[in-house]
Structure 1
């Protein structure tokens, strides 16, 4: 899959006059390096659900896994629209990122093998998976794997304060 390059623009109304837009290369490094993201999904009754999880940034998308019976898996069966959030828990340093998109199942064995290797490379041997039939099998049992290709990404820099919106061109 060929990653799409987004168009970034600073939101002047929400940014320090001296601020510049975050560049996409920096945003990608932050997405790839973040250890924990917060996934927001929607329960069948419309209430929000938020949970922390581990992600892999690969080929222009965030990937995560979840047990087949977990709340987030059940939510995604009904409504695949999600928001993934990461950043620093500080007021005056770092950059927070918000990724909006649609979670799509990954079932291809080669893609799952690549992701299993990426989990070990990023998180260590405690996150070892075998490739099962359309899932990753780990210590906790089979896990569904999802990919979120960003539709919009917001970057919130903190010194100086700056809000950048990245909009992605439609897939060809």
Structure 2
């Protein structure tokens, strides 16, 4: 799935408490958020367990067609959480942006899509995955353990400037 360019808007309006900036000239472009994700060595993925408790874990993230993708072992807490509730949040900080991407994570399937995500991991992290019979494996590890790729389809995102006064909300139109 290709991620469409979202609608950018100020997170805080004139009616909100100061000192937040309400100048539309301070809106961050979505390409800045994508650059933040692309350059990050790791991000944090937050999910919700079956008991409603939050869970956060560091993950490596790649972009495929503008959508953040992660790798996870199927037996991990994050994968089990996503199987029951696809709601996910990715957070990351860069020198010029603190980013929160909220969306739904869905397991990537189909050899073509799996190979595209695997290629992105190989390019960014030199982490080579093998795709066999529609399954993802890390053959560099004993037993060639299985992995799953998840694509997080953004619903909304928030970008906070390092000044602590500027904030952008991006809303994605889902059709």
Q: Is the 8 A contact 2:160 2:166 kept in 1?
A: yes
Q: Is the 8 A contact 1:106 1:134 kept in 2?
A: no
Per the TM alignment, residue 112 of structure 1 is displaced from its structure 2 partner at its CA by: 1.1
Alignment match, 1:16? 21
Per the TM alignment, residue 17 of structure 1 is displaced from its structure 2 partner at its CA by: 5.3
Q: Is the 8 A contact 2:64 2:116 kept in 1?
A: no
Give the root-mean-square deviation of aligned CA atoms: 1.8
Divergent runs of 4+, >4 A: none
Alignment match, 2:166? 162
TM value normalised by structure 1:
0.88
2: CA distance, partners of 1:40 / 1:2? 22
Unpaired runs of 5+ residues, structure 2, are none
The alignment partner of 1:65 has SS state of strand
Alignment match, 2:7? 7
Per the TM alignment, residue 161 of structure 1 is displaced from its structure 2 partner at its CA by: 2.8
Per the TM alignment, residue 162 of structure 1 is displaced from its structure 2 partner at its CA by: 0.9
1:146 to 150, 153, 157: 150
TM value normalised by structure 2:
0.86
Alignment match, 1:76? 82
* Aligned counterparts, 1:70-149, within 5 A: 70-88=76-94, 93-124=95-126, 127-138=127-138, 139=141, 141-149=145-153
Q: Is the 8 A contact 2:92 2:100 kept in 1?
A: yes
2: CA distance, partners of 1:135 / 1:30? 29
1: CA distance, partners of 2:46 / 2:125? 22
Alignment match, 2:50? 44
Relative to 1, partners in 2 of residues 1:120 and 1:170: Cα closer, same or farther, differing over 3 Å? same
CA deviation vs aligned residue, 1:36-92 (integer Å, no higher than 9, x gap): 11011011111111000001111131111111111111111111111111114xxxx
Q: Is the 8 A contact 1:11 1:164 kept in 2?
A: yes
2: CA distance, partners of 1:78 / 1:159? 38
